[in-house]
Chain A
Amino acid sequence: MFATLLDALNAPLFALAGALMAPFERAPAWIALVLWSAVSGGLMTWAFRYTSNQRALRHVSDRIRANMLAIKLFKDELGVTFRCLLALMGNTALRLLHSLPPMIVMIIPFVLILAHLGVWYQHRPLRTGEAAVLELRLTPDAWNARTAVELLSAEGLKAEPARPIPDIERRSYSWRIRPTAPGRHNLRFKIGSQTIEKSVAAAERISDLMPASVLRPGGSFTDRLLYPAERACAPSTGVEEVRIRYIDAERSTPILGIHIPWWGTFLIVSILAALAVKPFVGVQF
């Protein structure tokens, strides 16, 4: 049920992400990342305010500050110092405890945001002419039933060999693919009597901003969550996943020449944005 729900959500969200990213296709990739990280940070701050016990958090924050000041004010009283340190620990734990409810409430939107940002920033597109390994894994049942697998077409791509290389241990078939033109291409497979597709992103320059889906999930819930660009293969196809592997697949999104993982940028920018909007939202973290 959850998987179906997730599949239903992923398609419109992917379309929405595409629309939001569209204005930045020609701009350096980090601009959209910074912008949407900041927007997410602001929105999450607002959400945090209404999903947390602000009064309790404010109280705990005040106690933490008071105990820190007490250490300074009564520095000659060793007993006070240690009592305050203990109180600091206790209040810190309490603060974390009060942060849990908003974390739990926000986990759904936040994981979805991260997953969809990941589609754009986790992997770079393939360069035109660059070789990659295409691997199609089957479920144990499909593998044991010796289901026939065939690559029907690969527009804009060169795939070889014509007969895939099987891997018994991994229950998979592999091809070498090489994009011949930039753009989003589709590979069509025939698995038994059914056909499935897998998209491949190719670009002239790897810095071009476009969604790069390296995996089309099968039945795994985690894969469906983390790779939302393509609809999961139906269980009846017997496909566990279709994956593209290539060297240095992770995208680098340098900001002012500094290489930071995209999620690092997201973390820093969203926190900074949260701190910036804090006085306007009137929220206590």
Chain B
Amino acid sequence: MPLILSVFAEARLRVRRRRNLPCAAWIVLVALLLATLAPPSSDYPGFAHAYIGPGAGIAVVGSVLTVIGTLFAAFLAAITWPIRWLWRLIRGRGRYRKAKVKRLVILGLDGLEPSLTEQFLAEGKLPNLAKLKAAGCYTRLGTTWPPLSPVAWSSFSTGTNPGKHNIFDFIQRNPLDYRPTISSVRIREPKRKLKLGPFLIPISKPEIAALRKSQPFWKILGDAGIFSAVLRVPITFPPDRFNGVQLSAMCVPDLRGTQGMFSFYTEQGEGGATMDGDVGGERIIVQRRGDRVESYFKGPANSLRTSRPELRVPFSIRAGRNGSAILRVDGQDHALEVGKHSAWVRIAFRAAPGIKVRGVCRLILKRVEPPFEMYCTPLQIDPDKPVMPISHPVVYSCYLARLLGTFSTLGLAEDTWSLSEGVISEDQFLEQAYEIHAEREGMFFDTLRRVSQGVVVCVFDGPDRIQHMFWRFLDDKHPALPPERRASHRDTIPDMYRRMDDLVGRTIAKLDDNTALFVMSDHGFKTFRRGVDLNAWLLQNGYLALKDGARTTDKPYLADIDWSHTRAYAIGLAGIFINLKGREAQGIVAAGEEAQKLTLELKAKLTGLLDAKTGEIGIQEAAPKRTVYKGPYVNEAPDLIMGYNVGYRVSWDAAVGKCGADVFSDNHKAWSGDHCMHPALVPGVLFSSLKLASNQPNIIDLAPTVLDLFGLSTPEYMDGKSLLPGAQSAASGGSDPVVETSPAPPAKPREPVSA
């Protein structure tokens, strides 16, 4: 009875607050309720009156079913636990018998730079990392060549060099048409479709194939019965199948199949892409009708229709008070506040009767009054109803979405392009990055609560994205920022390091004595002041020719190359490809001696390439791929791998296969920090709660170390070696030096190239 009364009291207060019902009305309600619950007349069904509407009916029926299911599940779990335990024991999967720790937590802080870390440690700004270092150890961590996240994290997970895991860059070029594709995944529509009038009904499955080869350590652990939770480790799309849970990260596309195209709604100018290719954003022109602005969310092409029309969901925005506005989409209203990120907005595109493609996005209303301006994040796969698997098992993303709310699913979730193009401000970008970071923290700490045995790996991308976009505020010589603006965000990167330290502190607080903790980064960070246009250099030195004898081209993806006179070309971040006969569709360089000679010639000319404007060496080292990699997939790598000096990186134009006028040019983009340099210049960091023995640890050593911690031997194919003290002495120290981790060799300056 007291419970019923308190419920009445609460309900009364709530409804009263909302509708201000008079007291008498409440008396009527309660009287009616009591009357209804009173014993009915002999010939009237009392049960009928215990049912108060379908809403409550469903709640009651659902609750009863839940309670029954819960009790049944509890009973089942209790009685089957000893049987399952016995079964594992009999099958010899005494999984944790040989384990040196009960649980291992790996906290990946993408791009944490050792020089800054060490500086802040010395200044006492990172107390939790200092505590971890004191309890265990700290060391710089060698990285891969090129030191790019997809490459480095693939080496982290497989314990192999890129020649064995097949990831050499973000993109790879198709030698048959020279077009770039994502390096880690191949997505193809179903091969067989049935045409029914205007509809195309797929009768086979679409292909979503992983291109990363070799085995990640969580698969090996899973085969031995050890559970792993792998959160947002790059190059895990499509998700692996193993004993554990996984949420995919880098290379998860947006709903339109790109790696993240934002939309910018405006009343001015013309619509269309803001950049070449499937990156950047798209301007969409809105229509103003009275006090409302109307436009649409742009979805993917409808592959279920023969005409493949673009899927769209219309919306309207009505100005509210005090700079607020109401977005109306699909019959739902969403509040928008000028200058602030909105909550997640769910959008359902209707592809065919009964078939919806669901996405989520967030908006920043920039101006309601003319000229209207609004930013929309890339439309991301809805984790609660994913259009393609983004987790293992598929329901894991649903679980996270239900538990923590909708979250970013895009591979590169932080929208760096929109900041680079000035669509959002630095503060708005930071807000976005830290909200994504908070989502990730929620997942990570939930996983720590759930997983008491096994491995928990979680990668936080925030440090990488923030350093990419805010390094110019640390670098007084950076060309992307006038000196007077530097003070505004000079503290952003140090603040980010403090936040990461705080995360480490909160993580340590959740761990018991049987848990080991690694805090690591895949690479470091340096300034990116000058771009090196490799295609311009190749053209100026007679290795590359453009159609009609042109000296420059603005067309991306090598579209204007005269292949009949091109011996080498560059696309992507990693290096240069030889236009090889028999491999490339229009190759002219014979395989074997000619190709080898050309490679060595290019290496000799590019190593130590001098930037005349600054007097600095732009390229520390250019290395033939076979001197850097070994393994079955070496042929897929660029023929010459570039190791840029600090301050340099491949230029924006050359990365997308364009050819500019100058070899060296200033980087004026907000993307002002980078790590695509010589690996010796940008090592990562490794903090461990355990004492580690190696004096030159490399990222490929992590997988063998994890296996060793759980009592599993390192597979033969792995290039890394366990970093645990005992294993280290047995293996005579250090990893197979496939990847250079020693300081970069002094490069001889070559002939200067005018900027």
A47 at the interface (CB under 8 A from B): yes
B196 at the interface (CB under 8 A from A): no
15 residue pairs A–B, Cβ–Cβ below 8 Å: A52-B55, A65-B399, A66-B403, A69-B399, A71-B77, A76-B453, A100-B7, A106-B56, A107-B36, A111-B36, A118-B48, A222-B35, A226-B41, A261-B45, A273-B54
User: B402 and A48: CB pair below 8 A?
Assistant: no
User: B227 and A66: CB pair below 8 A?
Assistant: no
User: A275 and B58: CB pair below 8 A?
Assistant: yes
Mostly helix, strand, loop or mixed at chain A's interface? helix
User: B11 and A92: CB pair below 8 A?
Assistant: no
B8 at the interface (CB under 8 A from A): yes
- Kindly report which residue of chain B lies nearest to residue A115, judged by CB atoms: B49
In the complex, what residues of A have CB within 8 A of residue B77's CB? 71, 75, 78, 81-82, 85
User: B56 and A103: CB pair below 8 A?
Assistant: yes
In the complex, what residues of A have CB within 8 A of residue B30's CB? 104
Interface string of B403-426 (1 = CB under 8 A from A): 101000000000000000000000
With A96-B60, A108-B32, A110-B52 given, is the CB distance from A249 to B15 under 8 Å?
A: no
Which residues, 248 to 285 on A, are CB-close (under 8 Å) to B?
249-250, 261, 263, 266-267, 270-271, 273-275, 282-283, 285
**Per a CB cutoff under 8 Å, which of A2, A78, A266 touches B31?**
A2
B717 at the interface (CB under 8 A from A): no
In the complex, what residues of A have CB within 8 A of residue B48's CB? 114, 118, 261, 263, 266-267
In the complex, what residues of B have CB within 8 A of residue A118's CB? 44, 48
User: B67 and A89: CB pair below 8 A?
Assistant: yes
**Per a CB cutoff under 8 Å, which of B43, B47, B402 touches A263?**
B47
User: B28 and A2: CB pair below 8 A?
Assistant: yes
In the complex, what residues of A have CB within 8 A of residue B29's CB? 104-105, 107-108
User: B402 and A71: CB pair below 8 A?
Assistant: no
Residues of A within 8 A of B (CB): 2, 41, 44-45, 47-48, 51-53, 62-66, 68-82, 85, 88-89, 92-93, 95-108, 110-111, 114, 118, 122-123, 214-215, 221-223, 225-227, 249-250, 261, 263, 266-267, 270-271, 273-275, 282-283, 285
**Per a CB cutoff under 8 Å, which of B14, B31, B52, B59 touches A106?**
B52
In order of increasing CB-CB distance, the 4 nearest A-B pairs are A48-B55, A274-B54, A263-B48, A66-B403
Distance A285 CA – B56 CA, assembled complex (angstroms)? 7
User: A82 and B53: CB pair below 8 A?
Assistant: no
Query: Which of B287-295, B390-398, B566-574, B607-615 lies at the interface with chain A?
Result: B390-398
Distance A95 CA – B56 CA, assembled complex (angstroms)? 10
- Kindly report which residue of chain B lies nearest to residue A99, judged by CB atoms: B59
Having A45-B54, A97-B10, one finds 18 other A-B pairs with CB under 8 Å, namely: A62-B402, A63-B403, A71-B73, A72-B395, A73-B399, A77-B453, A85-B70, A89-B67, A92-B70, A96-B63, A99-B56, A99-B60, A100-B11, A105-B15, A215-B41, A222-B40, A270-B57, A285-B59
**Per a CB cutoff under 8 Å, which of B14, B47, B54 touches A101?**
B14
Q: How near does chain B come to A69, taking the closest CB pair, in angstroms?
A: 4
User: B399 and A95: CB pair below 8 A?
Assistant: no
**Per a CB cutoff under 8 Å, which of A76, A261, A275 touches B227?**
A76
- Kindly report which residue of chain A lies nearest to residue B95, judged by CB atoms: A76
- Kindly report which residue of chain B lies nearest to residue A91, judged by CB atoms: B66
User: A85 and B53: CB pair below 8 A?
Assistant: no
In the complex, what residues of A have CB within 8 A of residue B62's CB? 95, 285
User: A63 and B402: CB pair below 8 A?
Assistant: yes
User: A223 and B14: CB pair below 8 A?
Assistant: no
Of B44, B47, B77, which is in contact with the most chain A CB atoms at under 10 Å from its CB?
A: B44
In the complex, what residues of B have CB within 8 A of residue A263's CB? 45, 47-48, 51
User: B54 and A270: CB pair below 8 A?
Assistant: yes
User: B63 and A44: CB pair below 8 A?
Assistant: no
Distance A100 CA – B5 CA, assembled complex (angstroms)? 12
Question: What is the total number of residues of chain B having a CB less than 8 Å from a CB of chain A?
Answer: 62
B585 at the interface (CB under 8 A from A): no
**Per a CB cutoff under 8 Å, which of B8, B44, B84 touches A226?**
B44
With A66-B399, A66-B402 given, is the CB distance from A77 to B450 under 8 Å?
A: yes
Q: How near does chain B come to A284, taking the closest CB pair, in angstroms?
A: 9
In the complex, what residues of A have CB within 8 A of residue B60's CB? 96, 99
B452 at the interface (CB under 8 A from A): yes
In the complex, what residues of A have CB within 8 A of residue B61's CB? 271
**Per a CB cutoff under 8 Å, which of A45, A51, A74 touches B15?**
A51
Of B40, B45, B52, B81, which is in contact with the most chain A CB atoms at under 10 Å from its CB?
A: B52
- Kindly report which residue of chain B lies nearest to residue A71, judged by CB atoms: B73
User: A77 and B452: CB pair below 8 A?
Assistant: yes
Which residues, 306 to 345 on B, are CB-close (under 8 Å) to A?
331-332
With A226-B41, A285-B58 given, is the CB distance from A103 to B73 under 8 Å?
A: no
With A2-B31, A104-B33, A226-B44 given, is the CB distance from A45 to B399 under 8 Å?
A: no
B38 at the interface (CB under 8 A from A): yes
B245 at the interface (CB under 8 A from A): yes
B451 at the interface (CB under 8 A from A): yes
Q: How near does chain B come to A41, taking the closest CB pair, in angstroms?
A: 5
Distance A162 CA – B6 CA, assembled complex (angstroms)? 57
Distance A49 CA – B65 CA, assembled complex (angstroms)? 22
Distance A133 CA – B53 CA, assembled complex (angstroms)? 35
Distance A88 CA – B452 CA, assembled complex (angstroms)? 21
With A41-B54, A44-B54, A107-B33 given, is the CB distance from A88 to B41 under 8 Å?
A: no
User: A271 and B73: CB pair below 8 A?
Assistant: no
Distance A226 CA – B60 CA, assembled complex (angstroms)? 24
- Kindly report which residue of chain A lies nearest to residue B227, judged by CB atoms: A76
User: A69 and B398: CB pair below 8 A?
Assistant: yes
Which residues, 436 to 483 on B, are CB-close (under 8 Å) to A?
450-453
In the complex, what residues of A have CB within 8 A of residue B41's CB? 215, 222-223, 226-227
B135 at the interface (CB under 8 A from A): no
User: A80 and B450: CB pair below 8 A?
Assistant: yes
In the complex, what residues of B have CB within 8 A of residue A100's CB? 7, 11
Distance A72 CA – B396 CA, assembled complex (angstroms)? 10
Distance A2 CA – B69 CA, assembled complex (angstroms)? 43
In the complex, what residues of B have CB within 8 A of residue A99's CB? 55-56, 59-60
- Kindly report which residue of chain A lies nearest to residue B225, judged by CB atoms: A76
Distance A103 CA – B31 CA, assembled complex (angstroms)? 14
User: A101 and B40: CB pair below 8 A?
Assistant: no
With A76-B227, A226-B41, A271-B61 given, is the CB distance from A221 to B35 under 8 Å?
A: yes
Distance A263 CA – B44 CA, assembled complex (angstroms)? 11
User: B55 and A102: CB pair below 8 A?
Assistant: yes
User: B451 and A96: CB pair below 8 A?
Assistant: no
Distance A244 CA – B500 CA, assembled complex (angstroms)? 81
Interface string of B545-583 (1 = CB under 8 A from A): 000000000000000000000000000000000000000
Interface string of B576-600 (1 = CB under 8 A from A): 0000000000000000000000000
With A103-B52, A111-B32 given, is the CB distance from A85 to B450 under 8 Å?
A: no
B74 at the interface (CB under 8 A from A): yes
Q: How near does chain B come to A247, taking the closest CB pair, in angstroms?
A: 12
- Kindly report which residue of chain B lies nearest to residue A105, judged by CB atoms: B15
With A95-B63, A96-B59 given, is the CB distance from A249 to B227 under 8 Å?
A: no
User: B43 and A249: CB pair below 8 A?
Assistant: yes
User: A88 and B402: CB pair below 8 A?
Assistant: no
- Kindly report which residue of chain B lies nearest to residue A67, judged by CB atoms: B403
User: B450 and A226: CB pair below 8 A?
Assistant: no
